[in-house]
Amino acid sequence: MGLVRPAAVAGSFYPSDPVTLASDVRRMLDAVPTGGAVPKAIIAPHAGYIYSGPIAASVYARLSNARREISRVILIGPAHRVGFAGVAVSSAAAFQTPLGEIPLDAEIIEKLKSMPGVVTLDEAHAQEHSLEVHLPFLQMLLDRFTLVPLVAGQASDLLVAQVLNAVWGGPETLIVVSSDLSHYEDYETARAHDSKTAQAIERCDPAAFDHFGACGRTPLGGLLLLAKQRNMRVRPLDLRNSGDTAGPRDRVVGYGSWALYEAASEIPQILLDLARKAIASKFESAPAALTVPNLPELMAEGASFVTLRIKGELRGCIGSATAWRGLAQDVAENAQRAAFADPRFPPLSIDEWPRVRLSLSLLSAPVAFPVKDRADLLAQLRPHVDGLVIEEGERRALFLPAVWEQLPNAEDFLGHLLQKAGFPPDYWSPGLRLWRFAAEEFSEE
């Protein structure tokens, strides 16, 4: 292969012209919410960009806050063209795309070569698209990084988990697992099939799906085994298929994207504790000042919603649709308003307070959501992923992604949101403005 592994699928899976490629990737990234906590690992699809690019972008956009922090990427995908046992590394010095060359991490690769089950097999890398299609996204998002490309052949979940664990590293290292979902079923069958696979991924249960459910079952199995051991949070970001993007609906391919977060992050618990203390202080005759750890994540501007429930029933919910003040301050003040100033409820009483359970939603920046008509909006809405803001004139309303739990049907979700804004449930107007956003959900329960 020489010193550089050249691009093999540029011009077919994605544009070969660097200007066009950069523009296409930027357009896809700009169309989805960005920012928030940086994941330790991501799962993204690997089809042609017209089919799976928008789904991949939904999780790659989560890296926007780590441009300088991530300096090494471990990229693993399934073998499509060469059959072999184990996990294959490359002897190349760099991988190339139209956007330039990415140096391989020779030290890490040499370390992996000493592990049982790891082989050097350039043939497995030469034409493999499951890795290559991810590289332009990484090149657009990260300043400088080295690459550890891995192709999974016939390998156990345990072997893949051992390989990933050996190169896990700290915040400088990102793990990327490449996988599409079901293949060539009709649209409705694929949606049902992919939904079951997605649920298995989200509970870190690789035994619950096979290679028919995900072509990257082998690398996925290893990551999920490790994620369960490490008590990681798995957050779904998108779940669609080629019938939703650019293909016919009689034979579709499924795509999904997920972000995985380390359990060690203390920010959610700090914020939940802060929300509880902020409410409790209102019942005190001489409340002490709220103290917040001096962490950059808490001082940075952030948007939050705080929700109160008693025995599962809503008791108050107030929040900020966009970030305009420090996250800790936003959570504390929204918690107090949800308890004492939600116009739908009387102020919380001291007798109710011990029974209250709090939940917290941390919102990404809203992204304009242009659609052609109501049908187009319903087709593009992503259940359990999208939060939605609608506005026309003086009327405005917002639903968090958590509302999908009560309204899992897109028609019902939209109809109730329109009613919340003061419109009939079947209302539609060309003047209706829409934004969508994502949210991380945390609960005391």
- The Cα–Cα gap between 396 and 421 comes to 5
* pLDDT recorded at residue 287: 79
Q: Residue 100 above 60 pLDDT?
A: yes
* pLDDT recorded at residue 33: 78
Tell me the per-residue pLDDT of 325-380, one tens digit each, with 9 for 90 and over: 999 999 999 999 999 999 999 999 999 999 999 999 999 888 889 899 999 999 98
Q: Residue 275 above 90 pLDDT?
A: yes
Average pLDDT over residues 130-138: 98
- The Cα–Cα gap between 270 and 266 comes to 6
The β-bridge partners of 443 are 359
- Parse the chain into domains and list their residue ranges: 4-261, 267-363, 367-443
In percent, the amount of the chain with pLDDT more than 70 equals 98
Query: What CATH code is assigned to 267-363?
Result: 3.30.700.20
The rounded radius of gyration (Å) of the Cα atoms in the chain is 23
Same fold, 4-261 and 367-443: no
The distance in angstroms from the start CA to the end CA of the chain is: 54
- The Cα–Cα gap between 75 and 112 comes to 13
Task: Tell which wins on pLDDT, 286 or 58.
Answer: 58
Query: What CATH code is assigned to 4-261?
Result: 3.40.830.10
Phi-psi region of 237 (alpha: psi -120 to 50; beta: other; left: phi over 0): alpha
CA pseudo-torsion sign 250, 201, 236, 125? negative
Tell me the per-residue pLDDT of 182-220, one tens digit each, with 9 for 90 and over: 999 999 999 999 999 999 999 999 999 999 999 999 999
Q: Residue 1 above 50 pLDDT?
A: no
Mind spelling out the 3-state secondary structure of 372-413?
CCHHHHHHHCCCCCCEEEEEECCEEEEECHHHHHCCCCHHHH
The β-bridge partners of 149 are 75
Rounded (5°) CA angle 83-86-91: 85
- Looking only at Cα atoms, what is the longest distance across the chain? 75
Backbone angles phi, psi at 370, to 5 degrees: -75, 130
* pLDDT recorded at residue 231: 86
- The Cα–Cα gap between 301 and 260 comes to 23
Q: Tell me which amino acid residue 406 is.
A: Q
Q: Which CATH superfamily is domain 367-443 in?
A: Hypothetical protein ph0010; domain 2 (3.30.1490.150)
* pLDDT recorded at residue 290: 85
Residue 334 CB burial class (10 angstroms; 0-12, 13-18, ≥19): buried
Q: Residue 385 above 90 pLDDT?
A: no
CA 275 to chain centre: 25
User: Do 392 and 417 touch, CB atoms closer than 8 A?
Assistant: no
- The Cα–Cα gap between 373 and 234 comes to 33
